[in-house]
A and B are shown apart, each in its own frame.
Chain A
Amino acid sequence: MNTADDALLADLKRVLGDRVRADSAERALLRRDASVFDGGSAGPTCLCESTEEVQRVVRIALAHGRSVVPRGAGTGLAGGAIPLGAPVIISLSRMNRILEVDTNSRIAWVEPGVVNLDLTKHLTPLGYHFAPDPSSQQVCTIGGNVGNNSGGPHCLAYGVTNAHILAIEVVLADGEIVTLGGLDAEPSGYDLRGVFIGGEGMLGITTKVAVRITPNPPAVSTLLLSFDTPRDAAATVSAVIAAGIVPAAMEVMDQGITIAVENYVNVGYPRDAGAVLLAEVDGLPDGVAIDAQRISDIGREHGATAVRQAASDEERMLLWKGRKTAFGAVAQIAPNYYLHDTVVPRSKLADTLEEVYRIADEHDLAVVNVFHAGDGNLHPLLLFNGQEPGIYDRVHAAGAKIVEASLAAGGVLSGEHGIGVEKQPYMHQMFSEDDLDHQERLRHAFDPACRSNPGKVIPVGHSCADIQSLRNVPEEVWG
């Protein structure tokens, strides 16, 4: 810290007192998020407790020529929350109040630091839930869900975060407070609310959110189908959709992850299956029974060796527990993993998956797959030991090939984790210069000076303002 930082700190402390943290331990902690990326550089962290405090902090940062980075739980996997250029970090985890729940209008107003699962737990006694359910839902926050337009297993039928947000109060990079969207049916003007969601904190800072709450379905049926190969499981997924069924969720796990999960939580997954498909249908009892039977039949037509239907809520929760703890289970079989996130057309799932296995082999890496098959959203986990010299280069190279294979199959860079710094170098593979130029124009409408979370999403070098905002961008952000 130098003199300039001292002046900045003094101003911030006048507003927040001891809720400004700038000690070396805190700064070291906040250099990273849940991704494999290292090399961030944190400025002071401000634990804000109100919209007004966020506004004042943004204005102080601006006056000191510093950018700002909003931070929720730090569970992002694309490096979107990594601070570049020693920005002021605005932590929103203390803004965690559920402000209002209106079951008549099916709306809840919440602060951005509310944990995703806490909201659903709060709504359970009222018969409602918040539909987006990312795997990190026990810790990730609503503000982070907004920033990343988060998905989750149940987004197949219910849609991703954008479909569940009505209005957002935002502190813009110049300190202005603005509400985007509204509670009315089709708010007037450009859909700035829709555009802001998935903006990865580069369009402003979320300080309050009106979320749509979803009534709990009276009937739910969960099936576990076993297959000899991931190809059979993928073919079943395509056939279910082609038959006109849109289940609430369709998740596939290959044998590697199924065994890891079984060792970890012992939920009764078959260890001998080449892949399992976890399918769920919900709604009214008769329709649920019809669709569950059809999925079971389609599975058997496509080579399912066993079909298990949960007979009770307990068994259903157990089957889901396995899926939801998959990433924790991986820690039991490898010291490190790198979780990828691409989407391909459903019809290309099986081919792309085989390509993923081939790429991992070629780079001498182990890989397991657990993914949102219904959406064509692949999640290969490359397993490695971070202590091994040169390993990150290999992981990086394999990752690049997986992205390439997904795009070649007619897919996209990311389904739910976002671009952050991870996929930034690949943006040119999916978009032309003109496409990227227009994305940048969109961003500049919100933040002309590129002061909010600079250096992400749009490839570096595309924007002069970013380069000015990043005083100390590390050349190598791979950790």
Chain B
Amino acid sequence: MSDFAKVVGAEGPVTVVGGRTRWHVGGEIHSGAREVHAPSGVVSYDPAEMTVAVRAGTTTAELAAALAEADQRCALPERGGTVGGSVVIGENHPEVLGRGWLTSSVLQVTYISAEGKVVRGGGPTVKNVSGFDLPRLIVGSLGTLGLVEEVILRTNPIPPRSQWVESHDAYPFTIASQVLRPSAVLWNGSSTRVLLEGHAPDVAASLNSLASIGSWSEVDGSFDLPQHRWSLQPAELNGCSGAFVASIGVGTVWRDEPQPRPVLPPSVIEISTRMKNNFDPTGRLNPGRSAF
């Protein structure tokens, strides 16, 4: 049994605290829930395997710095907070087209169950279909099914060149037809920023293609993103108005106000309720918070 399992124990309401950067997502935690903190630190990192084992309490900044030393990065967003928090929030990096989807990058997850036991799902290798997919269940679960102690994440090489470019006159929805694999296409209603990554000649060639649909200038980075993420279909984005930043081709929109929680179909709620009850029959894990 791990130290974290001992701390979580098997009884009484308990809530795990990371960086509190997205604390209110999924509802307010009941008062009286005991606060616990997941352990931190990189456990093992072999760049040649393109995987890293990291404890949940590690800050995403610390992880990013460790990976950068070997010219690698991962799918986790770098918006503050901890690895465990980012995993259970299920938030993708704004450059998801280049970084990959978080849900595909969590290879193995170790968590403490409601019964205080150490449970492991998935496997340490980049490819694995051994049994039911507990890692994908935990990603985005808001700590309602188990409290994450450690994850193994897939990493990726940092491309030789990364360049953000901005245009005030290009139509953002035609960019995908001009550039093979942009790492991000962000649009705020008046201008568009595109992240081009790869070998330097490829970035130059992509910029050349973009010139046919507008005028572009190099910029230092992305837009400042508003706090709240909205999940829309890519085809719905051209209807966006007000203050926003939209990820074209992905469907994420950042706004100052939170998205009203969508009502899920009854049968999805039924499965989700059974899932919660099967994993946490007494409702002691992060009480008050719900992922659905």
Q: A-side interface residues toward B, CB under 8 Å?
A: 102, 104-106, 148-149, 151, 155, 159-160, 162-163, 172, 176-180, 182-192, 194-195, 197-199, 203, 215, 217-218, 238, 241-242, 244-246, 283-287, 290-291, 343-347, 372, 375-377, 410-419, 423, 427, 430-432, 434-439, 441-446, 448, 457-458
Contacts and interface: CB of A to CB of B under 8 A. Distances in A.
Given A163-B104, A191-B103, A283-B198, A415 B264 contact: no
A411 to B, nearest CB: 6
A162 B130 contact: no
Interface string B243-282: 0000101111000000001101101101110110011000
Interface in B44-94: 46-50, 71-72, 90-92
Leading 5 A-B pairs by shortest Cβ distance: A185-B251, A286-B201, A194-B136, A244-B157, A412-B123
B233 A183 contact: yes
Which one of A163, A176, A435 has the greatest number of beta carbons of chain B within 10 Å? A435
B118 interface: yes
A373 to B, nearest CB: 11
B133 A198 contact: yes
B139 interface: yes
Contact of B134 (A290, A414, A417, A442): A442
Nearest to B118: A434
A283 B180 contact: yes
B230 to A, nearest CB: 8
B113 interface: yes
Contacts of B231: 184-188
B30 interface: no
A442 B103 contact: no
B202 to A, nearest CB: 4
A431 to B, nearest CB: 7
Given A185-B231, A284-B180, A414-B128, A441 B123 contact: no
Contacts of A435: 119-121, 134
Given A184-B251, A287-B201, A439-B131, A190 B292 contact: yes
B180 A186 contact: no
Contact of B127 (A217, A291, A415): A415
B24 to A, nearest CB: 16
B20 interface: no
A191 B140 contact: yes
Interface in B120-177: 120-121, 123-134, 136-137, 139-141, 145-146, 156-158, 173, 176
Contacts of A197: 133
Contact of B129 (A287, A418, A446): A418
A347 B48 contact: yes
Contacts of B47: 242
B117 to A, nearest CB: 5
Contacts of B36: none
B203 to A, nearest CB: 9
A441 B265 CA distance: 22
Contact of B125 (A189, A343, A442, A458): A343
B118 to A, nearest CB: 7
Given A185-B252, A191-B90, A375 B129 contact: no
B19 interface: no
A176 B292 CA distance: 19
B180 A414 contact: no
Interface string B22-52: 0000000000000000000000001111100
A434 B113 contact: yes
B39 to A, nearest CB: 19
A105 B205 contact: no
A423 B130 contact: yes
26 contacts: A104-B173, A149-B133, A159-B100, A162-B136, A183-B234, A183-B251, A185-B247, A185-B251, A189-B264, A189-B291, A190-B140, A195-B137, A197-B133, A241-B50, A244-B71, A244-B72, A286-B205, A346-B48, A375-B126, A414-B128, A415-B125, A423-B130, A427-B131, A432-B119, A438-B121, A439-B134
B15 to A, nearest CB: 19
A78 to B, nearest CB: 9
A375 B127 contact: yes
A346 B49 contact: yes
Which one of A179, A187, A442 has the greatest number of beta carbons of chain B within 10 Å? A442
Given A287-B201, A438-B279, 9 more contacts: A184-B236, A188-B231, A189-B272, A190-B275, A191-B136, A203-B132, A246-B156, A286-B201, A442-B132
Contacts of B101: 163
Given A191-B140, A244-B157, A414-B128, A178 B104 contact: no
Nearest to A341: B129
A344 B129 CA distance: 13
Interface of B: 46-50, 71-72, 90-92, 100-101, 103-104, 113, 117-121, 123-134, 136-137, 139-141, 145-146, 156-158, 173, 176, 180-181, 198-199, 201-202, 205-206, 229, 231-236, 247, 249-252, 261-262, 264-265, 267-268, 270-272, 274-275, 278-279, 291-292
B202 A284 contact: yes
A285 B278 CA distance: 52
Contacts of B292: 188-190
A435 to B, nearest CB: 5
B272 A190 contact: yes
A457 B271 contact: no
Contacts of A410: 124-125
Contacts of B120: 431-432, 435
Contacts of A188: 231, 261-262, 264, 292
A437 B278 CA distance: 10
B130 A419 contact: yes
Contacts of B270: 176
A104 B100 contact: no
B116 to A, nearest CB: 10
A367 to B, nearest CB: 21
B291 A246 contact: no
A105 B100 CA distance: 17
Contacts of B128: 343, 412, 414-415
A283 B202 contact: yes
Nearest to B247: A185
Nearest to B159: A244
A149 B235 contact: no
A449 to B, nearest CB: 12
B76 to A, nearest CB: 14
A168 to B, nearest CB: 12
Contacts of A430: 123, 130-131
Contacts of A442: 132-134, 137, 275, 278
B127 A287 contact: no
Contact of B49 (A186, A347, A438): A347
Contacts of A195: 132-133, 136-137
A285 B199 CA distance: 10
A434 B206 contact: no
Nearest to B279: A441
A182 B235 CA distance: 13
